[in-house]
Structure 1
Amino acid sequence: MKALAVTPGRENSAHVTEIPEPRLDLIPGGRGVLMKTLQVGVDATDSEINEGLYGQAPQGDNHLVIGHEFFGIVEAVGENVTNVQPGEYCSCTVRRPGPSLFDKIGRNDITSHDEYYERGINLRHGFMTEKVVDDCEFVVKVPVGLKKLGVLAEPVSVCAKAIEQAYLAQTRLQVWKPRLAFVTGAGQIGLLTAMMLRLRGLEVYVIARTPNPGLKEEIANGYGAEYVSTQKESMEKLVSRVGAPDLVIEATGSSRVAFDAMRFLARNGALVWTSVTGGKNLLNDFPSDSVNLEWVLGNKLLVGSVNGNRDHFNQGIADLALAEVMFPGVTERILTTPIDGFDNPEVIMDKLSNDKSALKVYVDVASAEE
């Protein structure tokens, strides 16, 4: 069976390889789910793994099958599987258990173990294959009415967790009713986060470099948010116009922007970092003294958030469904760049790195009818 893999640590090593076909009996206890891969989303994580910035192969292998944003259809299930049945659409969580206490209670997404296990990212093979098998614990059903958006199930789970983490952490204040939110970055995470915050009634500003007018602005506006291009208005000027945000979700992939956002948060506010930066940039001009003073005196909060568990997947899928009612037709505009199959990894990586019009790149592996 074909798969798209990399040789971890080697730059531009993406290649098509042959791997054994998955079998239900590989999952013990009758808990296996065999799925046909329909679509796999790709993002900056896949690009950075291909650049050799991070990622490790599973023990005993010298390659890592990539692809962590899975959408497929169930073909067969073990005798003890009840949450999905053959013919149903599904996605899969990414993080797999380690040995920590959090892993043992089902919170793989916040493991305290030094090593983390993520399908398609680190120490576990991903989903860029023709078929996959997994434990039913990690399989999430996608309603048939959302099949056109199924490949967004994983990204929207990341957004769901980031928002949840902010609200959970802010219970420290006893009363926290955020009114104004900034979302930095207008990729899939930024736009989906804006959608979810708008569903929760916040005034939302999406801040990114891409100039107006354009697709990102249209999508943000379609959700009832305001898109702000930093080429026209800096974050500092935006704050002087609309006020300091109660909540900032950072999703640019730039550590400079992540730190810069600390300068503008309101008192008692929360800043959530979702960016994963694999570089080695140093910031020598950051106003650390003033930021430290303002954060201590202002009781401000910084939270890192990565990955999502099945509850976050379910919340994200529910929000996708509600958004289809509240903002019909807007979300599917994120799906800009389909690629037919993974036989040409150079094309996939080129779209990720060089196609400025590509908002969401995803691979059509198969159709449900095949």
Structure 2
Amino acid sequence: MKAIHFTGWGVAGLADLREPELEPGHALVRVMASGLCHTDIDVLYGRYGNGAFPLVPGHEYAGIVEAVAEDVTDWRPGDRVAIDPNIPCGKCRSCRKGLTNLCETLEAYGVSRNGGFAEYSTVKTGHLHATGNLPFHMAALAEPLACVLNGLGNARASSAENALVFGAGPIGLLMALSLKAQGVEDVSVADINESRLTFAQSLGLTPLRSGSSDLAHLKKSFDFVADATGIAQVVEDMIAYTADGGTALVFGVSAPDARIQIAPFEIFRRQISLVGSHSLNRNIPEALAILQRDNGMMARLVSHRLPLADVLPYLSKGTATPQTMKVQFSTE
């Protein structure tokens, strides 16, 4: 089968691999759509995961069950599924507390085990979720959407009257649209790129240029503020835009050695809640339910649906343009 193959740090190519063999409790999934995430690039360059090379990347994927192991009775060939990539141990303290995304030995399809940038993938059946008639390119958004929902849930963002998301890339816009889907009507997005802000406005979001006087006049104005850029300076600055009693969410992935300066007195005096979020936590079904209700806005975030070979160049930052949103390997 054709697959994108990471054979070492910074080494990626298109390979012909043997079709994976079925093990007990597993299903063979024919991948129909698999989304590219910045985490895939971090895995390739050794900035995320445990360097489990060789590896087939891809943790945002959906497809059709091709075959099931003999002991599997709850799935059958032809079922349309999305995959929850996280593989927790189920035994450590975090897992016992229900925080499986914080498992001490967390593994994941596409990070430490072969994932979805291939024609076929074998998956434990407990990680399959039925997608009904949802188009595959939308079903493949379930994983990043579930990550967003995990963050919004931790921050109790649905109770906000208004919100500001820094970053008008695909994950920032997915977060902004998720806030709208959860009933937050007044959602703004800040970015330095005008074309991305224009696109955000077409999605029904309020665009704000980072560094502008329009944004500067809105300090202490937002019940909920989130960073979806991973830029430490943005994380530091977002506290200034959080209203008294509001919540700030660190969602973007900053460099591990990055540091910020925040005045503890300001957090104390203004009763600011500072919240973190990592990955998803068994909430693919919630994400799929939102995608089923979506009016087409989230689907617009998929800007590229490409053959496997054409996805490879996007593993280099230089390929993407401001108009690039979610890039997917797609067979549709």
TM above 0.5: yes
**In the alignment, is residue 34 of structure 1 matched against residue 24 of structure 2?**
no
SS in structure 2 of the partner of residue 144 of structure 1? coil
Q: CA deviation at 1:37?
A: 0.8
Structure 1 residues 83, 222: closer, same or farther in 2, change over 3 A? farther
Aligned residue for 2:198?
Answer: 217
Answering whether residue 19 of structure 2 is matched by residue 21 of structure 1, we say: yes
2:87 to 87, 90, 96: 96
RMSD: 2.6
Q: Residue 130 of structure 2: which of 137, 141, 146 is its match? A: 141
Residue 108 (structure 1) aligned with residue 100 (structure 2): yes
- How many residues were matched structurally? 330
Counterpart mapping for 1:1-370 below 5 A: 1-8=1-8, 10=9, 12-24=10-22, 26=23, 28=24, 31-58=25-52, 62-78=53-69, 81=72, 84-98=75-89, 99-103=91-95, 107-111=99-103, 113=104, 115-121=105-111, 123-167=112-156, 177-202=159-184, 203-211=186-194, 214=195, 216-218=197-199, 220-230=200-210, 232-233=212-213, 235-239=215-219, 244-278=221-255, 280-281=257-258, 286=261, 288=262, 291-310=263-282, 312-324=283-295, 329-342=296-309, 345=312, 347-350=313-316, 353-364=319-330, 366-367=331-332
Q: 2:188, 2:207 within 8 Å by CA — same for their partners in 1? A: yes
SS at match of 1:23: coil
Shift of 1:179: 0.6
Deviation at 1:353, TM superposition (A): 4.6
Offset of 1:222 from its aligned partner?
Answer: 4.3
CA apart distance, 1:151: 2.0
Question: Residues 269 and 46 of structure 1: is their aligned pair in 2 closer, same or farther, counting only changes over 3 Å?
Answer: same
Amino acid at match of 1:277: S
Residues 78/139 of structure 1: CA separation in 2 closer, same or farther (3 Å cut): same
Asked if the contact 2:165–2:189 (Cα under 8 Å) also holds between the matched residues in 1, the reply is yes
The whole-number CA distance in structure 2 between the counterparts of 1:89 and 1:162 is 27
Separation in structure 1 between the aligned mates of residue 154 and residue 265 of structure 2, nearest angstrom: 24
**Please, which runs of 5 or more residues in structure 2 have no aligned partner?**
none
Once residues 43 and 276 of structure 1 are traced to their aligned partners in structure 2, the CA distance between those partners, rounded to angstroms, is 12
Q: Aligned partner of 2:115: which letter?
A: G
| Offset, 1:18 | 4.3
Instruction: Compute the displacement of 1:49 (Å).
Output: 2.5
Deviations 1:78-97 (A, max 9, x none): 45656543222211112111
The percent identity for this pair of structures is 26
Q: TM-score, normalised by structure 2?
A: 0.88
Structure 1: 5+ residue stretches without partners: 171-175
- Per-residue deviation, residues 35-86 of structure 1 (Å, max 9, x unmatched): 101111112212223333333244xxx4122111112111123456565432
1:181 and 1:246 in contact (8 A); partners too: yes
Q: Is the 8 Å Cα contact of residues 74 and 89 (structure 1) preserved in structure 2?
A: yes
Change (3 A) 1:143 1:187: farther
Q: Deviations over 1:105-126 (max 9, x none)?
A: 7642132x1x4312222x3232
Conserved? CA contact 2:151–2:277, under 8 Å? yes
Report the TM-score, using the length of structure 1 for normalisation.
0.80
Tell me if structure 2 keeps the 8 A contact 1:94–1:307: no
Q: Which amino acid aligns with 1:360?
A: K
**Cα distance between partner residues in 2 of 1:250 and 1:276:** 9
Kindly tell me: are residues 35 and 139 of structure 1, through their superposed partners in 2, closer, same or farther at Cα, counting changes over 3 Å? same
Using the alignment, how far apart are the partners of 2:99 and 2:259 within structure 1? 32
